[in-house]
């Protein structure tokens, strides 16, 4: 098989070296009874997932020089269901924090939600309408640390109150960090129920209110980190809308997008943009 021309979303050798140990260990635990190693390299499977994450293309529209939909979706779904995508994400998150000379797990997190439209064909049973934002679709909730790294993800119908997302996020935060988190910052969309639930987990939830004297947009210190993360994620076109039939797939997309972001940070290899004259144009 001839070597294909790389895409901008492909992992570099250095980025693949960060992820490869987890994938290899997974592969060793899931050996074929016949001993067959599979027709496609694991690096190419990951590249195909990241290509779709970045471009937003449909499964059937993966380029012919990537592994086909059947193989790529198989691994995407298996890694989603057994938590391998989260393991890879957590490994890189810890490395980014270590490089920033911080402890592995944070003591403070910031929570927020984002309502997004869904694509045609997404089951109506998993969607709703966010009347406050006038958005029909799903609600994506994130908990991030002060570096903007994702600690927890929840995906609900857009009709769900922010309290439901906040309570679910706090539960994930406590489980993921081993209860190192002492404080959580939220905006005024979250209510007393989140504060009460946080107290049961030993997390002090502070509702950060907007200064009534502020005119126009004024970023709130620390709490704005989560908005920055949403801005980074939206560069991955698969996240501009929610295209996934299964909410768990939507959460997995966030983990893969952040894995790609952190891999670039750790290797110092930023993605090219349209402003870069060397950027690859489609």
What pLDDT was estimated at residue 275? 55
CB 4 within 8 A of CB 65: yes
pLDDT in tens, 198-235: 999 999 999 988 776 666 656 677 888 999 999 999 99
What is the Cβ-side half-sphere exposure of residue 124, based on CA atoms within 13 angstroms?
0
Does position 281 have pLDDT exceeding 50, yes or no?
no
How many angstroms separate the first and last alpha carbons of the chain?
Answer: 24
pLDDT in tens, 30-88: 887 665 666 799 999 999 999 999 999 999 999 999 999 999 999 999 999 999 999 99
Among 17, 18, 38, CA closest to 27: 38
244 vs 4: CA distance, rounded Å? 29
CATH: 3.30.420, 1.20.272, 1.10.3470, 1.10.10. Which one for 105-242?
3.30.420
Give the mean pLDDT of 105-124.
95
Give the mean pLDDT of 131-147.
95
Among 203, 194, 196, CA closest to 175: 203
Does position 277 have pLDDT exceeding 90, yes or no?
no
The structural domains of the chain, with segments of one domain joined by +, span: 105-242
Q: Which comes out higher in pLDDT, residue 272 or 182? A: 182
CB 139 within 8 A of CB 251: no
Angle at alpha carbon of residue 251, lines to 233 and 198, rounded to 5°: 95
Q: Which comes out higher in pLDDT, residue 272 or 251? A: 251
105 vs 87: CA distance, rounded Å? 14
């Amino acid at each position: 098989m001839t070597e294909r021309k790389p895409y901008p979303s492909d992992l570099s050798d250095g980025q693949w070296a960060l992820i490869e140990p987890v994938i290899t260990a997974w592969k060793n635990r899931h050996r074929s009874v016949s001993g067959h190693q599979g027709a496609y390299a694991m690096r190419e499977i990951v590249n195909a997932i990241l290509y779709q994450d970045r471009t937003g293309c449909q499964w059937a529209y993966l380029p012919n020089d990537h592994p086909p939909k059947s193989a790529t979706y198989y691994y995407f779904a298996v890694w989603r269901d057994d938590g391998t995508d989260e393991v890879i994400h957590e490994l890189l998150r810890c490395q980014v924090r270590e490089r920033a000379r911080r402890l592995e797990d944070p003591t403070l997190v910031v929570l927020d939600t984002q309502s997004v439209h869904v694509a045609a064909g997404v089951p109506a049973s998993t969607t709703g309408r966010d009347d406050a934002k006038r958005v029909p679709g799903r609600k994506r909730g994130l908990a991030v640390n002060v570096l903007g790294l994702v600690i927890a993800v929840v995906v609900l119908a857009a009709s769900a109150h922010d309290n439901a997302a906040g309570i679910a996020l706090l539960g994930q935060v406590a489980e993921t960090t081993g209860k190192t988190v002492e404080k959580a910052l939220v905006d005024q969309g979250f209510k007393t129920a989140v504060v009460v639930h946080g107290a049961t987990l030993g997390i002090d939830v502070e509702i950060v209110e907007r200064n009534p004297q502020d005119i126009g947009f004024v970023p709130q210190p620390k709490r704005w980190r989560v908005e920055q993360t949403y801005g980074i994620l939206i560069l991955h076109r698969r996240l501009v809308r929610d295209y996934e039939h299964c909410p768990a797939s939507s959460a997995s997309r966030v983990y893969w997008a952040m894995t790609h972001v952190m891999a670039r940070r750790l290797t110092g290899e930023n993605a090219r943009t349209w402003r870069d004259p060397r950027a690859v144009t489609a």
